[in-house]
Amino acid sequence: MKRKVLSVLLCAGLAVSMLAGCGSDSSNANKKAESTGSDLEYVKDKGTLVVGVTDFEPMDYKDDNGEWVGFDADMAKAFAESIGVEAEFVEIDWDNKELELDGKSIDCVWNGMTLIDEVKSSMECTDAYMNNAQVVVVPADKADKYQDEESVKDLTFAVEAGSAGEDQVERIGAQYTAVSSQADALMEVASGNSDAAAIDALMAAAMIGEGTGYADLTYTISLNNEEYGVGFRKGSDLAAALNDYFKKSMEDGSMKKCAETYKVQAALIEK
C-alpha cells in the first residue's frame, strides 16, 4: 500500500511540474519582453505569432481541411516564418479585438482591418497594404432600387459589430442589427431578416453573385474608400518589422503572387 501511495504522489508531482513547465515558456517570454521592451523578442521567445482573425474570405477563412487560408492568412504564415516562429490563428470577436490584443491572447489583428482613427489610436499599425471599400449588399432582384446613398437610408442593415461597415451605416443614419461577423451579415440578408448588409468590397467580390453560395445577392454602391493594415500592441516593434517584410515581399514578387492566388491583386498598394 505504501508503494502505491508513493507512486501516486510521484505521478502527481510529475504532473504538477509538467503543468508548470507548460506555462514557463510564456512566462519567460513575458519577462524577457519586459526587460528588453521588444514585442518581436517576446514572440520569438515563445515561438508563435498568434493572429486574431474572423471568417472573412478572401482574407482569412478555413479550407476544406479546416486550415486557415486566404491572402492575410498566407502572408501571416510567411511573415512568421521569416522571423523564425509559427503562425497560430485564433478566431476572435471583432468588437473585442483591442482587449484580446492588450491581454496578450493574440499578438496581432491581421484580418482585412480598416485603418480608421479608432484603430490607429489604440494599436501600433503597419502602413496600409491594400485598398478596400464598404459596399451595400442587397437581393439581386432589388438592386435597381438602391443605386445611391439616399435610396438605402431607409433599409434595415446587418453589419459586423465594431466594423467599418457599422461605422458607415451609422454615418448615413440607417437602422441596423450588429452581428458577430460579416458572413453572418450576409446570412441575415439571404434569410430576409435584414434588407441589406454593409461589408468589405473584397469579401463581396469573393462570396456573392453567380457561382457562389449567395447567387441571389449583389452589391450596389460603395459607402467609402478605405485602406487595410495590421494592428499590434501599442508601441510594438513588430509593426516596423512587418513593414520591412511587406516591402521585401513586394519587391521579390511574393506578395503579388499571393494576391493573384486569392484574386485581390488589383487592390494591392504598390510600395
> Residues 178-202: pLDDT tens digits?
999 999 999 999 999 999 999 999 9
- For residue 139, say if its preceding peptide bond is cis, omega within 30 degrees of 0: no
Res 32: pLDDT: 55
Res 238: pLDDT: 98
Domain 134-224 = CATH 3.40.190.10: yes
pLDDT digits (tens, 9 = 90+) for 85-136: 999 999 999 999 999 999 999 999 999 999 999 999 999 999 999 999 999 9
Q: What's the whole-model pTM score?
A: 0.82
Q: 40-131+227-267 has which CATH code?
A: 3.40.190.10
Q: Where do you find CATH 3.40.190.10 in the chain?
A: 40-131+227-267, 134-224
Concatenated DSSP letters of 134-174: EEEEEEGGGGGG--SHHHHTTSEEEEETTSHHHHHHHHHT-
Say how far apart CA 54 and CA 129 lie, in whole Å: 19
Which regions of 206-251 does DSSP assign to beta strands (E)? 217-222, 226-232
